[in-house]
């Protein structure tokens, strides 16, 4: 089954140019000199591309976004290719970003990278409160990830998290954190991959400005919720 067939079977229309770019990206992930993903080559169409795009059918990313803790570029590169939108890939591992930059440059994608820790970069006035969509996948539990992502989102924007089956437990631990950081729960889109894995897209709305003191140092974030 081609990538186009897989996506269209799940209601995701895609043209040949975008399919080619996404296929090239999956090949890049498989052959990169650095281990950019834990997924096996045969898993990538479902666990990288379909998992990224399927829950976004009702939430198209139409303005510049930030992908926090991008790792190998999932979901940021896939989102940028499919929605033809500018974005920023943030990660603390410089080696990974250097490898990603080669692919971005070769394919002339509208992406830039930032090397740094989210809890430090978020205090940079150039990036804080700038993005309508802040995406993250496999960054941390919801409570921790919220403090690392919320400062980048503009008021009226969204923090969008890809989560596994334990999202309900994580969310229950995060209500106080949401309130302190200026967030409200927008929606949760639950879905099942063809592999049988249960997934969820948890969407938070940014309803007010995050206080300047957040995010804290990571050791503090991990230890206790914001107050």
3-class secondary-structure state, position 54 = helix
* Host H or E run for residue 51: helix 51-53
- Mean pLDDT (the chain) is 94
pLDDT, position 103 = 96
| Strand ranges (E), the chain | 65-68, 87-91, 111-115, 131-137, 153-163, 183-192, 198-206
pLDDT, position 175 = 95
Query: Per-residue pLDDT tens for 177-187?
Result: 999 999 999 99
Do the beta carbons of residue 94 and residue 115 sit within 8 Å? yes
Query: Per-residue pLDDT tens for 79-99?
Result: 999 999 999 999 999 999 999
pLDDT, position 106 = 96
Q: What is the mean pLDDT of residues 10-21?
A: 96
pLDDT for residue 58 is more than 90: no
Q: Which of 144, 76, 81, 147 is nearest to 114 (CA)?
A: 76
Question: Under 8 Å CB-to-CB from 20, ≥6 apart: which residues?
Answer: none
pLDDT for residue 135 is more than 90: yes
Rounded CA separation 103/84 (Å): 16
pLDDT classification of 16: cutoffs 50, 70, 90: very high
Q: What is this structure's pTM?
A: 0.95
Domain 50-223 belongs to what topology?
Rossmann fold (3.40.50)
pLDDT, position 41 = 86
Query: Per-residue pLDDT tens for 215-226?
Result: 999 999 999 999
Q: Taking the domains of the chain in order of start, what are their residue ranges?
A: 50-223
pLDDT, position 139 = 83
Share of the chain above pLDDT 70, in %: 100
pLDDT for residue 35 is more than 80: no
């Amino acid at each position: 089954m081609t990538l186009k067939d897989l996506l269209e079977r799940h209601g995701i229309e895609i043209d040949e140019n975008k399919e080619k770019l996404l296929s090239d990206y999956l090949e890049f992930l498989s052959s990169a000199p650095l281990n950019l993903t834990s997924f096996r080559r045969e898993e990538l169409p479902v666990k990288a591309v379909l998992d990224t795009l399927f829950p976004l059918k009702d939430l198209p990313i139409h303005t510049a976004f930030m992908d926090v803790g991008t790792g190998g570029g999932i979901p940021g590169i896939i989102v940028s290719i499919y929605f033809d939108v500018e974005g920023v890939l943030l990660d603390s591992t410089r080696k990974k970003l250097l490898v990603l930059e080669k692919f971005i440059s070769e394919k002339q994608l509208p992406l830039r990278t930032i090397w740094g820790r989210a809890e430090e970069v978020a205090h940079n006035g150039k990036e804080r409160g700038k993005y309508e969509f802040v995406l993250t996948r496999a960054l941390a539990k919801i409570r921790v990830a919220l403090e690392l992502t919320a400062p980048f989102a503009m008021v009226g924007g969204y923090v969008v998290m890809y989560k596994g089956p334990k999202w309900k437990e994580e969310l229950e631990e995060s209500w106080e954190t949401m309130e302190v950081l200026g967030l409200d729960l927008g929606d949760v889109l639950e879905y099942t991959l063809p592999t049988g894995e249960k997934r969820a897209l948890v969407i938070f709305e940014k309803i007010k400005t995050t206080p300047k003191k957040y995010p804290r140092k990571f050791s503090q974030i991990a230890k206790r919720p914001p107050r």
